[in-house]
Amino acid sequence: MRIFETEMINYLRLLLFPFSIVYGLIILIRNKCYDWGWFKSQSFDMPVICVGNLVVGGSGKTPVTEYLVDLLADYKIAILSRGYGRKTNGFILADPSATALTIGDEPMQYYRKFPQVTVAVCEDRVKGITQLQGNHDLILLDDAFQHRRVRPGFNILLFEYHKLLKTQFLLPAGNLREHFSGYKRAQAILVTKTPASAGDAQRQALSKRFDQGWVPAFSALQYQDLIHLYTSQSMAMAKLPVNTVVYLLTGIANPAPLVGYLKSGGTRVIHHDYADHHAFTSTEISRLAAAFRQDKSTEKIIITTEKDAQRLSAAGLQELLVDLPVYFLPIKINILAKDKLTFDQNVINYVSSYTRNRTTY
């Protein structure tokens, strides 16, 4: 079955490849117009750090953004996101009335997690930065590497480890938003989801994908304690008995690392898998709850991601799960010790030495 699926994917890519050529030509011309100054690109007289990637979703931008918030805690920070999945438009500041529907799931996660940080959404990043710049020391742009109308002072470009091992295709045949050479616009490259089995030789070989001058830092996912969706009580993953049945609910781009992590602890995973930023319906959550209640297993639990948890707070969903053991599993990134000092210092140096003498053009 898996061989058949692989052949079908390869056949589909072949059919879509001509469209990828056209798409790639359009993106190439667009980027050159920005590089040559034919299209307007605006910089700002304050530190602006962009966290982005070259592929569609799944590279770990959210935990990296949270890492930067902790790293730069001495500064007054604003996080500006487009707000994928929201049902609103324009510039919106997160406030106590915000929900995943009004600002998006990832901004909602930032807002709940970092009360000291300003969180805003706007599809027009220039407009968003203009609204925020007067009251903040720096701005973090979540997923704006292809938003060329803004010229950030510091671009952090993420690459998922396993995807770097494979040949990547441009949309729509593959997942690349732009040509791989786009990494040369970055000031820092961070490889995410590096497996523990990757030794120095493997990491050095992967680093050769990039020209000299772009030395990637490597990081891995670090799963935290489970947190109850409604009571906020925490529970260590190690406390889950072996053979626990996990009903896993995800609406993220790449759930494979999470599934692998859960299975590595001896749990049996029943995966309710949906597309990235999926708006869960009452029918879908009722189906999950019914399957969980009908399961005769002695040890069982419902686990979701922290991002998905933001969407489970929607009206009509909480009462379907409120009497069940529903937990979300936060993640952090752990930059390898040999790379962490350099990566952190480059970011700190950019922010701390920044002068407000830059011109807007």
Same domain, 273 and 171: no
Closest CA to 105 of 319, 304, 289, 294: 304
pLDDT value for 16: 87
Q: What is the pLDDT of residues 78-88, one digit of tens each?
A: 999 999 989 99
Q: What is the pLDDT of residues 69-79, one digit of tens each?
A: 999 999 999 99
With tokens 């469209």, the residue in question is: 19
CATH number for position 111: 3.40.50.300
Same domain, 311 and 216: no
Asked if the model's pLDDT at residue 33 lies above 50, the reply is yes
Q: What is the pLDDT of residues 107-163, one digit of tens each?
A: 999 999 999 999 999 999 999 999 999 999 999 999 999 999 999 999 999 999 999
As a whole number of angstroms, the distance between CA 32 and CA 39 comes to 9
Asked if the model's pLDDT at residue 250 lies above 90, the reply is yes
pLDDT value for 3: 46
Structure tokens that stand for 291 in this block: 């399957």
Q: What is the mean pLDDT of the chain?
A: 92
Same domain, 155 and 217: yes
Same domain, 310 and 267: yes
Same domain, 325 and 338: no
Asked if the model's pLDDT at residue 218 lies above 50, the reply is yes
Please tell me the total count of domains within the chain: 2
Asked if the model's pLDDT at residue 9 lies above 70, the reply is no
As a whole number of angstroms, the distance between CA 239 and CA 320 comes to 26
Q: Is 49 helix (H, G, I), strand (E, B) or coil?
A: strand
Give the structural domain span for 297: 225-329
Is residue 299 in a domain?
yes
DSSP string, 89-130: -S-EE--TT--HHHH-HHHHHHHHH-TTSEEEE-SSHHHHHH
Average pLDDT of the residues in 181-188? 97
Single-letter amino acid code for the residue at 147? H
Residue ranges of the alpha helices (H) in the chain? 2-35, 61-71, 100-103, 105-113, 125-132, 161-164, 200-207, 256-264, 282-294, 306-311, 318-321, 337-352
Same domain, 250 and 195: no
Same domain, 197 and 231: no
Asked if the model's pLDDT at residue 2 lies above 50, the reply is no
Cβ(269)–Cβ(246) below 8 Å:
yes
Structure tokens that stand for 159 in this block: 């690459």
